[in-house]
Amino acid sequence: MESMSGLGDKIKGGVSKAKGEIKDQVGNATNDKSMQAEGKKDKLKGEVQEGIGKLKDNH
């Protein structure tokens, strides 16, 4: 059961990173600095969520 919660966080992290990457690329293409910043924030959030998932898997 413990590893399932870690998996959930890893999945959420992957989704956040993917959304962030899309926002970053759209912001790049349209020269929208706030969209780029939002994308970078989402990618960072995703990396943190994945890290939490990995920690849960190891405990």
What confidence score (pLDDT) does residue 2 get? 46
Give how many domains the chain has, as a whole number: 1
3-state secondary structure the chain: CHHHHHHHHHHHHHHHHHHHHHHHHHHHHHCCHHHHHHHHHHHHHHHHHHHHHHHHHHC
DSSP conformational letter for 25: H
Domain that holds residue 45: 2-58
What's the pLDDT band for 59 if we cut at 50, 70, 90?
Answer: confident
Tens of pLDDT, residues 9-35: 999 999 999 999 999 999 999 999 999
What confidence score (pLDDT) does residue 1 get? 41
Predicted structure pTM score: 0.84
Tens of pLDDT, residues 45-58: 999 999 999 999 98
